[in-house]
Amino acid sequence: MLSTMNTLRIGLAGTGTVGGGVWSHLQSNFDVLRCRTGVDIKIVRVATRDPKSIERLGIPTSIVSDDWHALVNDPEVAVIVELMGGTTHAYQLIKAALEAGKHVVTANKALLSKYGEELFALAAKKERQLLFEASVAGGIPIIKSLREGLIANRIVALYGIINGTCNYILSNMSEKGIDYAEALADAKAKGYAEADESLDVDGHDSAHKAAILAAIAYGFWVPEGQLATEGIRQVTKVDIQFARKLGYEIKLLAVIKSDDKSGVEVRVHPTLIPQKNVLASVSGVFNAVFVRGDVVGDTLFYGRGAGADATASAVLGDIAELALGLHAPRKCRAVGSDALYPKLKALEEIISRFYVRLNVADRPGVLAKIASVFASYEIGISSVIQPEVQAGESVPLIIMVHDASEKRFADALAEIARLDVVKDTPVSLRVEDFE
């Protein structure tokens, strides 16, 4: 490692929310880290295009550059911490750093989801570490737990509430009985949602994290664009209210599981979760990951999934790991190159239970028509709710159906939508029972 005997020299790229947190906490906890690692950890180079952050954080201007190449080209820098974000310059920086023989720490889930296979292969070739604890679930040490504490387990299933913005919005809708637009506006006002909320609420952020978790748990990277992803825009307060009556809460859930060697399910979508399950009680901006291993059984990881402090904690944990290996460095542990079940199941193959909400004509025989369609596709109905409402042209009808393949269910629902008794586009959500 390029470093003096007891000093680990860091190059920091990015001084935004997380980068600023890393700088500040490394200064305040310098003695703690030195005591626990036996190494002085120092940031000796900073690359940023935000001069105001330099002044705010008190970073000496003598170590600052607006060009990330300065970090790569400095022979004293042993570790580059990439916190710029994006998938263009960040990719170029990480690739150049590894090529130059430097270790890398990143929190960039979008980049790893897109380029992880290539970058981990490069890290292994160069015998350098590429660490990424902060890329999933902020301060929750889920990646180290999967790679180290649970290394002897085959992962049977992994379920994650891994986007704090979506969880805050859905929790608010549930607790206050408000609609999506009002909950989103509240999340933006409190700084929990970006001005452009699409990355979060359309499920892409969770999908990036799910791809990383799948690579760790099952040893292969989901090809870009093939991870089934749905966001929360279509979830209404009406659906949340009916779900609660049925004994469920609605959460944006990442599902990663395999019950045999035929393939792995990796998907992200709004999901009905039984209220008795601990994930149903995860509220606000908190994250949680439920892991089922064949040896350990069920485990739960819970905590803050984002923010300067939680994410900086994970980044500093990776830096400390490198410091602990200063005199006996580990080989790079590749991710996504040891596939146990290398086949990604197509969405059409997956078996699920479903919640369905229909707006139907208020007349006799309607339920019989709908049940007949489901029966023709060999899909059974487990429960029905038709609330008493004032007489009118249409009424809501809520149906829970038994297990069905995604394709059979989609075909059945399309036929039901064409019935003359169905007045609006059907609404459907998946149900997860964790059995």
* Residue 274, beta-bridge partner list: 248
Question: Buried b / exposed e across 22-48, counting CB within 10 Å, b at 16+?
Answer: bbbbbeebeeebeeebebbbebbbbbb
For residues 83 and 22, the answer to whether their CB atoms sit within 8 Å is: yes
Selected catalytic residue, list 102, 209, 251, 257: 209
For residue 309, give the DSSP letter: H
Identify the CA nearest to 394 among candidates 419, 428, 431, 371: 419
Identify the CA nearest to 253 among candidates 170, 130, 314: 170
Residues 6+ positions from 243 with CB-CB distance below 8 Å = 249, 250, 272, 355, 429
CA distance 216 to 143: 8
Tokens, residue 95 = 């690739």
Tokens, residue 318 = 């990776």
Helix axes 17-28, 308-324, angle to 10 degrees: 60
Q: What does each C-alpha distance from 211 to 93, 186, 290, 336 come to in angstroms?
A: 22, 29, 16, 10
Identify the CA nearest to 205 among candidates 236, 160, 257: 160
Sign of CA dihedral 221, 228, 266, 202: positive
Q: What angle do CA 72, 78, 79 make, to 5 degrees?
A: 80
Residue 58 CB neighbour total at 10 angstroms: 9
In terms of phi and psi (left: phi > 0; alpha: psi -120 to 50; beta: otherwise), the region of 391 is beta
Residue 209 is a catalytic residue? yes
Residues 6+ positions from 337 with CB-CB distance below 8 Å = 117, 120, 121, 124, 219
Residue 353 CB neighbour total at 10 angstroms: 17
* Residue 82, beta-bridge partner list: 13, 106
CA distance 324 to 261: 37
Say how far residue 140 (Cα) sits from the centre of its chain. 12
290 membership: H or E segment, kind and range: strand 286-293
Residues marked as catalytic: 209
